[in-house]
Amino acid sequence: MTDRLPYLQKGLVAQLAQLTNGIAVVLEHRYYGASIPTKDFSTESLRFLTTEQGLADVAYFAQNIVYPGFEDQNLTSRHVPYIAYGGSYAGAMVAFLRVTYPDVFFGAIASSAVTEAIVDYWQYWEPIRRNAPQNCIHTVENLTGVLDNLAHNTSAVKDLETLFGLQDLSHVDDFANVLSYPLSSWQGRNWDPAVNDPTFFEYCVNITVADTLLYNDTSSSEDIEKAAELVALAGWDDPKVNRHLTTQLLNFAGYLNETVVWPCIGNGRSADDCFSSYNTTFYEQNDLTQNWRLWEYQVCTEWGFFQTGSGTPKSKPSLVSRLVTLDYTSLPCKYAFNITTPPEVDARINNKYGGFNISYPRLAFIGGTADPWREATPFANDAPHPHRPNTLDRPFAEIEGGVHHWDENGLFPNETTEFLPPKPVENIQAYEHEFVKAWLSTQKWAHLAREEQGFFFGLI
């Protein structure tokens, strides 16, 4: 739980607690952290790991908790207002809490809340396409196109894998998946320097260089000749275009080999051991150290969110190879849990809690226009009402350029600068302060503010 400590010290939840004389509480989800009710993480043991049960745990806590040091006070949800905050899956959870337990949770702030479960979540890549530097996106589309246009040619694919140092991979879809690793790092971008992942822009800087080879390991005349041949075979045979894309392909290969491939293979492990989704021995592990199984189980049984390239409409170039299919991305379900059919997302999540349409008084939705999870939130372009009214009672606001729950982080006063927090984040957090104060000004709870007894804010 120590990784959540900064949110209690300087994040949004800390800000709200200070603003209202409240208490901030971080709760673990069952099975995660130290809240483990079983002896292992076998499929049998994980049958109690459901969204519904997780919600019930939080409600029970709010209704029954006796806080150490405050045993003489009744601080349950019947006597003080509880406002839940969460981001991503936890954002969906707090939204569901407000609707499912409206008498327990006075309000909720759902940030980047993935309230719509989607099996084939190819849309994950679309906010990246719209918001990343377009020269980088155009390059990614072309590099992905090289692989997809060669996919029918086994010999050419093997030559392409060799350029990346991955010729020993047994499955071409594993190779296609590894090529998407740097693209996935977009989600790790954050305005807060303490948690920001710079990988995406480092990746873009490397692959967009079209006139200079950056890596000695991919600069030999043999590599250049082979790469140019593959690029031409894939359809880019105009001499100038071929020369530029060949250079970009070799720079991508050099970058990926240095940052992803060699750090694993260079330690003596095989390519399959490092990067294969067909490693059944790995998936058979189910002791309590295998905490990767937890969210994977929820994905396989309730949520989906398999990030494919094959789902991308044929009308647009894919950022991720179309070899990355639903069957491929769901292999962990098969090998880890013997689950061979997609989750019934409508029955388990969407119809039960509201999906895109979820709405309730004192339920706020905060999003980011550049969040790869945006298309699973009520802000999604495909949502029935992506531009619903934004009111103090039902706040609905996005951070321009924001990625994944960017409102959650905060800075100490001595850490702020002219540019940090960014103005869009600062404005959203000020708005969150405003509507929470408005919620708590209702007649039922106004006396607490006068008596300085405080309120409760949960971060899950």
Cβ-proximal residues to 308 (8 Å cutoff; 6+ apart), any chain? 120, 121, 122, 320, 324, 325, 326, 328, 329
Q: Are 13 and 85 in contact (CB under 8 A)?
A: yes
The runs of H, that is alpha helices, within 299-358 are 326-329, 331-337, 345, 351-353
d(CA 93, CA 302): 13
- DSSP class of residue 283 equals H
Tell me the residue type at 193. P
Cβ atoms of 414 and 392 closer than 8 Å: no
Could you count the other beta carbons within 10 Å of the beta carbon of residue 155?
8
Examine the residue annotation and report whether 88 is marked as an active-site residue of this protein.
Answer: yes
- State the sign of the Cα–Cα–Cα–Cα dihedral 82, 13, 126, 117: negative
Single-letter amino acid, residue 175: F
Choose, from 148, 223, 371, 407, the residue flagged as catalytic: 371
Strand, helix or coil for residue 208? coil
Q: Which of 77, 88, 112, 277 is catalytic?
A: 88
Residue carrying structure tokens 């954002």: 91
Q: What are the residue numbers of the active site? A: 88, 371
